[in-house]
Amino acid sequence: MKPARFHSWNVTPDEASAIQLNLREKIEIKPISKSVHLVAGTGVVFEPNYETIHATVVILRFPDMELVERYGVTEKIIFPYVSGLLAFREGPPLMRAFREIRHQPDVILFHAHGQSHPRRFGLASHLGVLLDMPAVGITTKLLVGFHQEIGLEKGHHAPLMDADEKIGLAVRTKENVNPVYVSVGHKANLLTALDFTLQCITHYRRPEPLRQAQLAANAQKDGESIDIDVGGNQTNLF
């Protein structure tokens, strides 16, 4: 899968912030196409010393969530931890993984923020713009913003607000469990991002592509070989 845009990852934090502000202008807000056949999910795990990162991309068939392809990358971290600049730690190995996958997804779900970010340009927007693919950010923790109480049933949601700006949604994906936070990455809008997120929920709080990618990243960290191209064999899921 070939990226549409490039920039250096070997930059200072100030340069990284400037890159975010520049690329932010490339975000496109529009509905996700109804013609979706393949969905990607990303996962990242750090070694305890935070010097090495394991990043995975999983491709599942939509809507049945059968595994099509899985690829992982392990490499040294080149960027320090700075709040709001997560893309410069996790982006390089994830982009490397995307370059290696053979099946191009129609939508990418990132375990990261999109526009629910101080500069409205989290990792889901950043990599979505670089890949020029429909992208949705889904996280379990807030980086910025607040929301009102939401109903306890699956599908209930509330706007995620930063001052008077709507930057995402708090979404209950399972009854009586904590919500996840959904935001636009690129080539999506909140309505279709919400709908697509809920369609990717199986038996768990997180959408299945993200759950499978995180399981794969953990397995890779434990020394397992996770790379596979099976074209839709359900038995190869974790």
20-48 per-position pLDDT tens digit: 999 999 999 999 998 999 999 999 999 99
How far apart are the C-alpha atoms of 25 and 45, rounded to whole Å? 30
The predicted model gives 46-56 an average pLDDT of 94
Burial tier of 32 (Cβ tally within 10 Å: 0-12, 13-18, 19+): buried
Share of the chain above pLDDT 90, in %: 92
Q: Catalogue all structural domains in the chain, each as residue range(s) with its CATH number.
A: 13-222 (3.30.2170.10)
What does the alpha-carbon distance between residue 80 and residue 9 come to, in Å, rounded to a whole number? Answer: 12
Alpha helices in the chain (DSSP H): 13-23, 87-100, 123-131, 190-199, 208-221
Report pTM: 0.95
Over residues 84-96, the mean pLDDT reads 97
Q: Tell me, what's the pLDDT at 207?
A: 98
Indicate the pLDDT class of residue 230, thresholds 50, 70 and 90: confident
Six token digits for residue 193: 């991002």
Buried b / exposed e over 195-223, threshold 16 CB at 10 Å, is ebbbebbeeeebbbbbbbbbbbbbbbbee
Partnered with residue 44 across adjacent β-strands are 55
Helix (H) or strand (E) holding 67: strand 67-76
In this prediction, residues 175-194 reach a mean pLDDT of 97
pLDDT for residue 34: 87
- CA dist 47 and 178 (Å) reads 27
Place of tokens 């920039």: 7
